[in-house]
Amino acid sequence: MSDTVKAINLKHEEAKNIANQEINRRKESIKKSRYRLHYHFMAPVGWINDPNGLVQYKGEYHLFYQFYPYDAKWGPMHWGHGKSTDLVHWEHLSVALAPSEDYDSGEVTGYGCFSGSGVVNGEELVLIYTGHVDNKEPMQVQCIATSKDGIQFEKYPQNPVIDVYPEDGSPDFRDPKVWSHDGKWFMVVGSHKNGKGKALLYVSNNLKDWAYVGVAAESDGTQGDMWECPDLFPLQDYHVLLVSPMYGKQNEKPFYVIGDMDYETGVFTQQLARTLDYGYDFYAPQTFEDDKGRRIMIGWMEKWLTKMPSQEHGWAGAMTIPRELILEGSTIVKQKPVTELENLRTNEKHYDSLVVENEWMINDMDVSTEIMINFDLHETTASLFGIQLRCSTDGNERTDIILDAARQEIILDRNKAGVGEKGISKAPFTINEDGTVQIRIFMDTTSVEVFVNDGEQVITNRIFPDEGSKLFKLFSKDGKVCVSRMSSWTLNTVWD
């Protein structure tokens, strides 16, 4: 090993050690926060945003993430790290990447190891990430780091592996997602030019030497002027592109595009685009394929520039539950919570053939709960009906999930949901051929994820109600609502 390589490794190890010492110093006090979630992934301390490097390596699932361990707000980005054998119970590991080199660190406000992906190359786990330094030219470059045990990572001495953005892009050139196809490695990188977000395509034989292919896909003029976290992958007989778009400085709802990928020309042909999640708190999703052939997605369960009450407790940000993506025909990507979550179920309650006029209440439903409800619209006469979660005894605090059958619209209203952000999320829904609408809810201490009709539509929001707000209600307006079946389970915690 050359002296240069030894110096790089030593400098990087020192940066990681300092971060790990800070985590160990604060992690016990953070556990006491009343806002900590029971079955969602969170960092032990500090700030997290994008999930990175989702991969299965030597039989274990690995989740890396954008991480600032020193404060509960965004700062110089590190890569935090957790692993799991079942996608549900996670073990926190030492920091995988820390800013240490001239391409990811500097004497400026913004720098770090920005978002990227992970792949298995033989016996090695390889992380591909964006090195970012404000005011540097170029500002963003693509880098790699490797590990032989999935825990200790060394930065490649010849980083960056892509040191300049192409003519089709701009200095905003980040979030590499890498996958293999027919013995070659392909990479899409998010960028923009002339007011259009773009996914730029590269190809390599060895993950170190990359050739630019061209623009794989770009905005049609309405899909954002900067594309972050592009993810392109095969799903059944098609390819799907995920994009987290920006409009100016505003991050908006991620969308998916179903289409065809021509690897000879490097062009992804868009056929149909849809919103991926209609909630406020869903961004930067990333996917991977596991050894069961499932395409699994996890997203950041938070949003930029919003009020985050947990920051007062020394931490901010969490991940969604893992969701399996299933292509329905050629028009809908369904999101199904992974089946492993069912192993957390306990304390089942079941109800058949409920008819509710005005309201029906369950006292003290656990704050960590899964609920499945089938509404029978053939027998329902109410104009509006739905569910109220995390209600206070006086009714002043609650989260409303409202179905409008005439408009075929579901509404999640968190305007009275506690001390966090307010707002109303809306999504369309279809009525099944048997006249039913199925709602599946994953409720945690400070989050709600709503899956409609087996994941055709999803709404993800953070809520921060009082600890004592635990009532659950079914309600109707101007008539009755009929529930053919309802089940609920308490979900056990996965954290100590």
Q: Which of 8, 161, 143 is nearest to 79 (CA)?
A: 143
Catalytic residues: 50
404-414 burial: b if 16+ Cβ within 10 Å, else e: ebeeeebbbbb
Q: How far is CA 122 from CA 57, 146, 207, 391, 495, in A?
A: 10, 11, 12, 52, 33
3-state DSSP of 93-154: CCCCECCCCCCCCCCCCCEEEEEEEEEEECCEEEEEEEEEECCCCCCEEEEEEEECCCCCCE
Residue 251: its H or E element: strand 250-251
In whole angstroms, give the CA distance from residue 42 to residue 90: 9
CA–CA separation, 242 and 217 (whole Å): 11
What's the CA gap between 50 and 196, in Å, rounded?
Answer: 22
CA 183 → CA 119, 179, 206, distances in Å?
13, 10, 10
Partners of 46 in beta bridges: 315
- Residue 417: HSE in the Cβ half-sphere, 13 Å Cα cutoff: 24
- Residues ≥6 apart with Cβ < 8 Å to 418: 390, 397, 463, 464, 465, 466, 469
d(CA 315, CA 311): 5
Report the C-alpha gap between 262 and 254 in whole angstroms. Answer: 23
User: Which of 366, 344, 367, 346 shows the shortest CA–CA distance to 493?
Assistant: 344
Count CA within 13 A, CB hemisphere, residue 80.
27
**Total number of residues shown for the chain:** 496
Q: If you search the block for the tokens 């659950």, which residue do you land on?
A: 472
